[in-house]
Amino acid sequence: IPDYKDASTRVNESKYQYCVSTQNDPTGETKVYIRELVSLGYKNSSAVAKNVFAWKADITMKASLRIGSMTGVSFTAKLRGGDDTSTKVKFVVTVQGETLTCCDDKLYKAGDEPSCQITNSMMDITQLRFAVRAYDSKGNLIGQANGIPEGF
């Protein structure tokens, strides 16, 4: 008869290794497992949980407006993470040495896509190189992108 005395330890270790390997792009199982492991005080699960539930944003830039001499660029952040909470999002955009901040008072949750738009009537900004950073309510960097916006 096999010895099953350490079966629960092996199960917890398997769950822990799964959480570690998927912490940067967590699945529903990752979130369930890490909550369970934290409640058990298992290994370094609290540190892994911070990464699993950290806000993350995939940022896109797109030329969004061209009317006469008026041009615009929009920035969108697709949110992930957050442990079923909500956050505000602040965009910090740098273009040609100038830094602009764009934010609102709305609260967003995972799956939401907050955005902001910058317009200019003096020159075509759709061909400029932008550096975009997105921050959560606590001031943590959650995403960044650099480059020239996609066309219309």
Alpha-carbon separation of residue 15 from 41, 72, 85 (angstroms):
13, 47, 24
- The yes-or-no verdict on residue 152 having pLDDT over 70 is no
- Give percent above pLDDT 90 in the chain: 70
Res. 3: pLDDT tops 80: no
Q: Is it the case that residue 75 has pLDDT exceeding 80?
A: yes
What is the distance of C-alpha 57 from the center of its chain? 2
DSSP H/E element including 131:
strand 130-135
pTM listed for this prediction: 0.83
Averaged pLDDT, 19-32 = 93
Q: What is the mean pLDDT of residues 133-144?
A: 96
- What number is the average pLDDT over the span 137-143? 95
Q: Residue 127 has which token pair?
A: 């061909």
Question: How many C-beta atoms lie closer than 10 Å to residue 56's C-beta?
Answer: 21
Least confident of 42-46, 50-54, 63-67, 127-131: 63-67
